[in-house]
A and B are shown apart, each in its own frame.
Chain A
Amino acid sequence: MKILTLLVLLSSVTVFAKDEKNVAKVTMLRGAALVKNASGSERSLKQDEWVSEGDIVATKDKSFVKLTFTDKSTMNVGPASSITINKFGGGEAGLISVIQGQIRSQVTKDVLKQAQDKSKLIIKTKTAAMGIRGTDFLVNYSPETEKTNLVTFEGNVALAQIEGNELALINTTQLDSIISDPARGVEVTGGLYAGTSPGQEHATIPTKISPVQFETLKVNENLETKESTQSSNPTYNSIVVPGLSAQVTSNDNSQTLDNQVKNTVGSVEITKEINLPPPEGYVDPNTGAQAPTAGGFIDMKTGHYIAPPEGSKFDANAGVYIPPSTYGKVDESGNYAPPEGLKLNTEGNLVADPAAGSSSSSNKSGTTTGSPLAPSPIKPIMGATTPGAPGGPKMEGPGLAGGPKPPVNDVLGGGFFIPGNYFIDNRDTSVIPNLNQLPTTTNTKFIISAP
Chain B
Amino acid sequence: MTTVLKSTAVKRGGAPGRRHAVGWLYAAPTALFVLTLFIVPLVLVLQMSASDWPLLRGNQGWNFPDNFVEAFDHRLFWQAVGFTVLYAAIVTVLLLGLGLGLALLVQEATRWKSLLRTAILVPSALGLASAALLFYVLYSPQAGPFAWLMEATGTTFLGTPTGALFSTVFLMVWRFTGFYMLLMLVGLNGIPEEVYEAGRIDGASRWQNFRYITLPLLRPTIALCLVLSITGGLLAFEQFYILTAGGPDNSTMTVVQLIYGVAFRGQNDLGLAGALSVLALLALVAINAAQLRAFRRPKEEN
A and B bound?
Answer: no
Instruction: Show the binding face of A for B, using Cβ within 8 Å.
Output: none
Instruction: Show the binding face of B for A, using Cβ within 8 Å.
Output: none
